[in-house]
Amino acid sequence: MRSKKFCAVKALFCLLSLADGAVAQSFEAAAIKVSNAPAGSSNWSSDEVTTTITNETLRGLIQDAFDVRSFSLSGPDWLDSLHFDINAKMQPGSTSAGRNLMMQALLKERFGLVVHHELKTIQGYALVIAKNGFKLKAVEDVGGHRSGSGNGKLSAQRMSMERFADRLARQLDQPVSDMTDLKGVFNIELTYQNPRNHDDSRPSIFTALQEQLGLKLEARKVPVDIVVVDHVERTPTEN
């Protein structure tokens, strides 16, 4: 019998599929050109009315538009070989979610992007409570959540376990499903070994989770909503 969590993810997948056909928000104006910068570096910046993107791959643009990680996007390999610069203007007061919808609309209008969603069970991790017990206490959910990470440190205020699992997925670039059944939000401080620094003596992220938070990542297959690229043009229509 399928778990309640799997059914809930399937329901979300259905809603997302319906939403893809209902994207109506668009940038007020957007200029797209092929990037001449060397491959390997990209930059994103935005304020209340402008989003500027330089030297981003087409794959990166699609991932951002649909807010998915690399393991959640299925498309042709050449998506990584095309780099673009984008300068787009939004209406003042636009939210990050609204900007994502605008980016989806832009990719559909200018690149002819067509996608669909597939719910697949793939290898990843389940976030569960470790044998030594969960070590944090829930805090009052007031003021919104904040988070930051880098150089082997992850810090978050008022974060739910579902959001924390997503942050771990970003760090590991593998799917992580929250299966702790922990309710509420938590202040989280996690320090772990930077995988790029071989001289870093801190524990691995797997060990750090157990020792510092009382959580554990168990390797198992988890349900993941996959965005599948059905069609996309290599060259955008003219500005």
Same domain for 159 and 195, yes or no, is: yes
The model's pLDDT over 27-52, given as tens digits with 9 standing for 90+, comes to 889 999 999 887 777 888 877 788 89
Count up the domains in the chain and report the number: 2
Same domain for 9 and 115, yes or no, is: yes
Token pair for 41: 């570096």
Whether 17 shows a pLDDT value over 90: the answer reads: no
Within 13 Å, how many C-alpha atoms sit on residue 21's CB side?
Answer: 6
Higher pLDDT, 149 or 89: 89
Same domain for 109 and 195, yes or no, is: no
Whether 23 shows a pLDDT value over 60: the answer reads: no
Residue 168 maps to a domain: yes
Q: State mean pLDDT over 155-175.
A: 90
Look over the chain and give the mean of its residue pLDDT values, rounded to a whole number.
86
Same domain for 94 and 13, yes or no, is: yes
